[in-house]
C-alpha cells in the first residue's frame, strides 16, 4: 500500500504494534509532542501507560490538564514513576502509579508487566519520557532493553513512543536504538520554528512539518532578602571569614561545585552551559543596583563621582580592574587586565588559577562558563544595562595554555554559543578526571585539587554561581542537577565497592569527603543531616518556596543506591525555613 503524507495530528497517533523513537536536542519539543500523543490515545479510548523519568506523575498530569485533559475513567491513565526513587525526592503516592528506578532497567520492565496485567487488555499506548536518563545510567543495556522490553511490548498489540535526547550520548548508540524502532521522528529547532522530520514510519512517507514556537529563555525572576543583603555588605566591609556559615566557614573546596556543574552537563551538554552563562550574566546585573543601595553613603558617592558611566576606553576599563587585580577576597581567580592589547570596545583579561579550570589541564576544550557570564553581567549592571557585554574564552588551561584569557565586547559574539557547548565525549573525559581525583582522595588521601597561590577553597559566593540558581533557570536545569548528582553518586559508590571498600566504610568515607570539602556540617545517623549546606545557602539571599538541594539529594541517593541498595529522600531543607537539611534513608 502506498504511504501518504499525514498531518501533525495524525503523526501524533502512534500506530498499534509499533515502536516509534522520537529524538531531538533538549528543548526541541519532544515532551510536548508526547503529551499530545497521550491525549490522542486517551481520546481514542486507549489505556495509556506513561513512564516518566524526568518528572513526577503529578507534574505530568498538570501539564496534560493545561492542554485540556479532563476527568478520566479508571485505568485510563497509569504511570511508572522512574524519577522519584532515582533522585531521592518525595513524589505523592498514587493508586495509578508503580515506582521504578532509572539505574535498574529490570525494575522498569517488571513495572511495565505489572501495569499491563492490571489493565488486563491489549492496545495499550506506552509513552516513555524519556530514555535519556536510563541511558546515562545503563548505556550498554538500553539497546537490549528496547529490543526485549519495548519492542516486544509493541509486538503484543500495543503501541510505544520512546523519547531520546540527541547529543547526550554516543551517535552509534542512538543509531542502534533507531535500528530497533519501527518508526523514527526527529525534531529540531530552526530560528523560531520547530521542525518535525518523519524519517521512517510504518504508515506514511518521509515528510517534514514546520510548526511555530514561542521563544523562551527559561530565566525567571527572584526577590532578594534585604536582611541577608545587608549582612553580606557588612561582612564585606569587615572582611569576615564566616558571615553566613559560622560553624563551617564560608569557603568550600572547589571540587564540589565543579562536580555539581559537570554532572549536570552530562545530562544536557548542549543547553546546560548556555543556561549557566545566561543565568550568571543576568544575576549580577540585577544584583548590582540592589547591593549598592546597602553600602555606606560615602562609598556610593565615591562610585558615582569616580567610576565611569561607560567602560569603552582602555583608560576607563583600567579603573574598574584596579579592584579586581588586588588579592582576590573570594579566592576564585587572579585577574590581570591586558591594557597593551586592549582597545576601545574590545578588551582582554588574563586569569590565573581560575577555580573553574584548575584540575582540567590539557582536557581538550575551554572550561569556563561561570566567570564569563558573571563578568558580563557586572559590566552590564555598572553601565545601567545600556549595552550588552559578552565574554568569550580565547585561551584556557583546558587547551594546554598556561593561563586563561577572555575577550569581552559590548555586543553579541557569534561564536560564543558554540564555544560554550561541549561534546559529550569531552564532558565524560572531564567527569572521569573528577572521579579520579575523588577516588585518589578517598583511597589514598591525595589532594583533590592544587592551586599554588589560592589553595583548594573558594568563597561561598562563586560556589553559588557554579551550582547555579535553579529557581531562576527552571525545571530543565533542576532536573539536570538531580539526575547528574544521582549518576555521580552511583558511579562513586560502585568504584568504592570495586576497590574492596566495605559498604559502611564507603558511606563513611564519602561523608568524610563532604565534610573535608565543607559542603556543610554533615552527620550520619538514622538520617543524614547537613547544617549550613552550601547548596541551600542561596536561599538565604532569595525568598523562595520549596527545597533547593537538587544536586546533593541526587548525589546522596545515587551513592546509597549503589552501596546499600537504599534510597534517600529530603525531608527538611533550609530552603523551606528549616534549621538544617535532612534526608531519611529508606
pLDDT in tens, 277-325: 888 887 665 565 555 565 555 656 555 656 778 899 999 998 888 766 6
Over residues 499-527, the mean pLDDT reads 97
Residues 126/150, Cβ–Cβ less than 8 Å: yes
Going by their DSSP bridges, the two strands 347-352 and 404-409 should be labelled as antiparallel
Q: What residues does 585 pair with on adjacent strands?
A: 568
Length of the chain, in residues: 586
pTM attached to this predicted model: 0.78
Question: Sign of the CA dihedral 503, 508, 510, 511?
Answer: positive
DSSP letters of 409-475?
ESS--TTHHHHH---HHHHHHHHHHHHHHHHHHHHH---S---TTT-SEEEHHHHHHHH--HHHH-H
Query: Which tops the pLDDT comparison, 555 or 189?
Result: 555
* Percent of the chain scoring above 70 in pLDDT: 84
Over residues 43-54, the mean pLDDT reads 88
Q: Which of 146-150, 232-236, 319-323, 388-392 is predicted least confidently?
A: 232-236
The pLDDT, as a whole number, for residue 226 is: 58
Residues 87, 333: Cα–Cα separation, whole Å: 33
CA atoms within 13 A on the CB side of 258: 30
CA atoms within 13 A on the CB side of 10: 12
pLDDT at 413 over 60: yes
Which region, left, alpha or beta, applies to residue 31 given φ > 0 means left and ψ of -120 to 50 means alpha? alpha
Q: Which of 196-200, 288-292, 348-352, 362-366 is predicted least confidently?
A: 288-292
CA atoms within 13 A on the CB side of 413: 22
Which homologous superfamily is 8-212 in? P-loop containing nucleotide triphosphate hydrolases (3.40.50.300)
The pLDDT, as a whole number, for residue 214 is: 47
The pLDDT, as a whole number, for residue 435 is: 96
pLDDT at 164 over 90: yes
- What confidence category does residue 390 fall into, taking pLDDT thresholds of 50, 70 and 90? very high
DSSP letters of 103-138?
TBHHHHHHHHHHHHHHH--S-PEEEEE-SHHHHHH-
Over residues 213-232, the mean pLDDT reads 52
pLDDT digits (tens, 9 = 90+) for 248-265: 988 999 999 999 999 988
pLDDT digits (tens, 9 = 90+) for 22-47: 999 888 889 989 998 998 788 677 89
pLDDT digits (tens, 9 = 90+) for 178-221: 999 999 999 988 877 888 999 999 878 888 888 765 434 444 44
Q: Which of 170-179, 255-264, 269-278, 485-494 is predicted least confidently?
A: 269-278
- What confidence category does residue 123 fall into, taking pLDDT thresholds of 50, 70 and 90? confident
pLDDT at 4 over 70: no
Residues 11/32, Cβ–Cβ less than 8 Å: no
pLDDT digits (tens, 9 = 90+) for 430-451: 999 999 999 999 999 999 998 9
Residues 353/451, Cβ–Cβ less than 8 Å: yes
The torsion angles phi and psi of 191, rounded to 5 degrees, stand at 55, -115
pLDDT digits (tens, 9 = 90+) for 110-121: 999 999 999 998
The pLDDT, as a whole number, for residue 303 is: 58
Amino acid at each position: 500500500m502506498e504511504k501518504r503524507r499525514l498531518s501533525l495530528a495524525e503523526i501524533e497517533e502512534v500506530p498499534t504494534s509499533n515502536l516509534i523513537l522520537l529524538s531531538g536536542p533538549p528543548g526541541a519539543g519532544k515532551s510536548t509532542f508526547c503529551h499530545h500523543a497521550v491525549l490522542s490515545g486517551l481520546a481514542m479510548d486507549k489505556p495509556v501507560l506513561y513512564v516518566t523519568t524526568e518528572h513526577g506523575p503529578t507534574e505530568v498530569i498538570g501539564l496534560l490538564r493545561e492542554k485540556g485533559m479532563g476527568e478520566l475513567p479508571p485505568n485510563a491513565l497509569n504511570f511508572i514513576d522512574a524519577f522519584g526513587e532515582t533522585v531521592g525526592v518525595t513524589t505523592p503516592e498514587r493508586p495509578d502509579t508503580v515506582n521504578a528506578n532509572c539505574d535498574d532497567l529490570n525494575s522498569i520492565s517488571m513495572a511495565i508487566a505489572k501495569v499491563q496485567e492490571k489493565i488486563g487488555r491489549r492496545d495499550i499506548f506506552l509513552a516513555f519520557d524519556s530514555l535519556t536518563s536510563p541511558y546515562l545510567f545503563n548505556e550498554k543495556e538500553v539497546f537490549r532493553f528496547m529490543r526485549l522490553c519495548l519492542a516486544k511490548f509493541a509486538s503484543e498489540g500495543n503501541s510505544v513512543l520512546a523519547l531520546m535526547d540527541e547529543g547526550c550520548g554516543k551517535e552509534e548508540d542512538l543509531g542502534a536504538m533507531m535500528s530497533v524502532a519501527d518508526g523514527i521522528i526527529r525534531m529540531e529547532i530552526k530560528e523560531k520554528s520547530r521542525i518535525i522530520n518523519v524519517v521512517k514510519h510504518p504508515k506514511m512517507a518521509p515528510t517534514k512539518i514546520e510548526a511555530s514556537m514561542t521563544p523562551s529563555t527559561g530565566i525567571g525572576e527572584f526577590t532578594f532578602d534585604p536582611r541577608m543583603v545587608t549582612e553580606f555588605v557588612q561582612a564585606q566591609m569587615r572582611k569576615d571569614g564566616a558571615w553566613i556559615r559560622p560553624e563551617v566557614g564560608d569557603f568550600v573546596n572547589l571540587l564540589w561545585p565543579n562536580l555539581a556543574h559537570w554532572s549536570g552537563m552530562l545530562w544536557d551538554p548542549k543547553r546546560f552551559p548556555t543556561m549557566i552563562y545566561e543565568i550568571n550574566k543576568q544575576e549580577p546585573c540585577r544584583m548590582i543596583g540592589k547591593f549598592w543601595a546597602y553600602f555606606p553613603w560615602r562609598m556610593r558617592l565615591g562610585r558615582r563621582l569616580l567610576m565611569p558611566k561607560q567602560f569603552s576606553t582602555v583608560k576607563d576599563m583600567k579603573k574598574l580592574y584596579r579592584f579586581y587585580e588586588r588579592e582576590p577576597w573570594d579566592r576564585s581567580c587572579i585577574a590581570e587586565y591586558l591594557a597593551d592589547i586592549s582597545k576601545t570596545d574590545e578588551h582582554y583579561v588574563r586569569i590565573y588559577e581560575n577555580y573553574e579550570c584548575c584540575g582540567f589541564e590539557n582536557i581538550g576544550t575551554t572550561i569556563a562558563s561561570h566567570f564569563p557570564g558573571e563578568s558580563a553581567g557586572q559590566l552590564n549592571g555598572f553601565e545601567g544595562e545600556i549595552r550588552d557585554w559578552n565574554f568569550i574564552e580565547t585561551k584556557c588551561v583546558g587547551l594546554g595554555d598556561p593561563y586563561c584569557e577572555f575577550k569581552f565586547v559590548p555586543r553579541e559574539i557569534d561564536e560564543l554559543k558554540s564555544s560554550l557547548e561541549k561534546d559529550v565525549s569531552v564532558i565524560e573525559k572531564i567527569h572521569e578526571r573528577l572521579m579520579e581525583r575523588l577516588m585518589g582522595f578517598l583511597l589514598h588521601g591525595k589532594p583533590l585539587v592544587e592551586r599554588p597561590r589560592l589553595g583548594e577553597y573558594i568563597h561561598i559566593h562563586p560556589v553559588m554561581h557554579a551550582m547555579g540558581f535553579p529557581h531562576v533557570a527552571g525545571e530543565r536545569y533542576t532536573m539536570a542537577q538531580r539526575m547528574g548528582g544521582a549518576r555521580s553518586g552511583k558511579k562513586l559508590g560502585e568504584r568504592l565497592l570495586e576497590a574492596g571498600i566495605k559498604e559502611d566504610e564507603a558511606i563513611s568515607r564519602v561523608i568524610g569527603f563532604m565534610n573535608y570539602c565543607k559542603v556543610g556540617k554533615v552527620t550520619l545517623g538514622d538520617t543524614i543531616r547537613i547544617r549550613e549546606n552550601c547548596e541551600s545557602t542561596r536561599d538565604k539571599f532569595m525568598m523562595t518556596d520549596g527545597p533547593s538541594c537538587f544536586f546533593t539529594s541526587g548525589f546522596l541517593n545515587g551513592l546509597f543506591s549503589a552501596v546499600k541498595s537504599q534510597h534517600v529522600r529530603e525531608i527538611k531543607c533550609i530552603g523551606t525555613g528549616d534549621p538544617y537539611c535532612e534526608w531519611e534513608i529508606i
